[in-house]
Amino acid sequence: MAKKWVRHSIQAVATLLQNANFKGFFEGRIYQGPAKSVCVPGLNCYSCPGAIGACPVGSLQTYLSGLKFKVPYYVVGILIFVGAILGRAVCGFLCPFGFLQDLLYKIPFFKKNEFKLDRYLRYFKYVVLGLFVLLLPFCFKLTPFFCKYICPSGTVAGIWLAAADKQVAGQLGPLFSLKLVILGLILVASLIIYRPFCKYICPLGAIYGFFNRIALYRMHLDTSKCVGCNACAKACKMNINPSVNPNSCECIRCGDCVNTCPHNALKMGVVLKESQKVTEPNASKKAIKS
């Protein structure tokens, strides 16, 4: 499995490729070329001056909240295609906002990655997906609720636009101030908690998580090598136990567990045949993290 510097290099390249309209950062103009009709895999705001593609979450809301309803075949097809191949590996390798959170967590600061409410807060991203991405945009036309009221990636895009164009800066109002507060809270939380946005809020992560168990690229546990030492669980900053649930919906495929396992019981890649499940007695010994 790739070391951390390899993954971070892939993240950096993916971020640059998805925001390759570099002159947009200086001109304060949104790229409108043909590539903008294509969805990128990660959370990358359409309005970012560097973005050359469309965000799948924003595109989904555009279809649902249009004056004339259109079934979002294209966006759903892209999400199913990418999810079926990579699952939440998109979050670990290709998402620009995930990369930003990774960098922030590296900053020396007070860390509190495990706490009692963590397991309950995980469900909030499904509420965000169902309510702010699907239901409300469908009920209220021309209102992409998640993009308009929550999305921190969109707020970062707004900051870039405002910095490059004074006219845009003059049009920002109370709503943008609210989004700045949300962004600020997420960024501060990212210093303390590993990827709080991915864990608790991101609707795209919620969608890709459904595919983790069936994606071509997934985790494989060799139960004949696993001794229940829980080294993988202790290494996992997403607070899951790969020796019990190697393809959890929360796993972003960062590979920390694979690199940590002293017996090479975990592998990441295209798996054509799964080993048998961990037996219940072993699982009970390993269940430090769920």
Q: Which of 180, 185, 209, 211 is nearest to 196 (CA)?
A: 185
Confidence grade of residue 3 (pLDDT, cut at 50, 70, 90): confident
Residue 47 CA to its chain's centroid (Å): 18
Across the chain, what does the average pLDDT equal? 91
Mean local confidence (pLDDT), 17-46: 94
285 has a pLDDT exceeding 90: no
Kind and range of the H or E element at 56?
helix 56-64
Q: What is the pLDDT of residues 115-166, one digit of tens each?
A: 999 999 999 999 999 999 999 999 999 999 999 999 999 999 999 999 988 8
Q: What's the pLDDT score for residue 38?
A: 95
Confidence grade of residue 273 (pLDDT, cut at 50, 70, 90): low
Q: What is the pLDDT of residues 219-261, one digit of tens each?
A: 999 999 999 999 999 999 999 999 999 999 999 999 999 999 9
Mean local confidence (pLDDT), 189-201: 98
Q: What's the pLDDT score for residue 189?
A: 98
Asked if 230 and 243 touch (Cβ cutoff 8 Å), the reply is yes
Q: What is the share, in percent, of the chain residues with pLDDT greater than 90?
A: 85
Indicate the residue type of 101.
Q
Asked if 215 and 92 touch (Cβ cutoff 8 Å), the reply is no
Task: Convert the chain into a string of H (helix), E (strand) and C (coil).
Answer: CCCHHHHHHHHHHHHHHHCCCCHHHHHCCCCCCHHHHCECCCCCCCCCCCCCCECHHHHHHHHHCCCCCCCCHHHHHHHHHHHHHHCCHHHHHCCHHHHHHHHHHCCCCCCCCCCCCHHHHCCHHHHHHHHHHHHHHHHCCCCCHHHHHCCHHHHHHHHHHHHHCHHHHHHCCHHHHHHHHHHHHHHHHHHHCCCHHHHHCCHHHHHHHCCCCCCCEEEEECCCCCCCCCHHHHHCCCCCCCCCCCCCCCCCCCCHHHHHCCCCCEEEEECCCCCCCCCHHHHHHHCCCC
Q: What's the pLDDT score for residue 46?
A: 94
Q: Which of 80, 274, 97, 93 is nearest to 195 (CA)?
A: 97
Mean local confidence (pLDDT), 69-97: 96
* 217 phi and psi angles, rounded to 5 deg: -95, 105
Task: Report all structural domains of the chain as residue ranges with CATH numbers, in order of start.
Answer: 4-209 (no CATH), 217-286 (3.30.70.20)
Q: What's the pLDDT score for residue 290?
A: 41
**C-alpha to C-alpha distance for 33 and 13, rounded to whole angstroms:** 21
Q: What's the pLDDT score for residue 171?
A: 87
pTM greater than 0.85: yes
Q: What is the pLDDT of residues 90-123, one digit of tens each?
A: 999 999 999 999 999 999 999 999 999 999 999 9
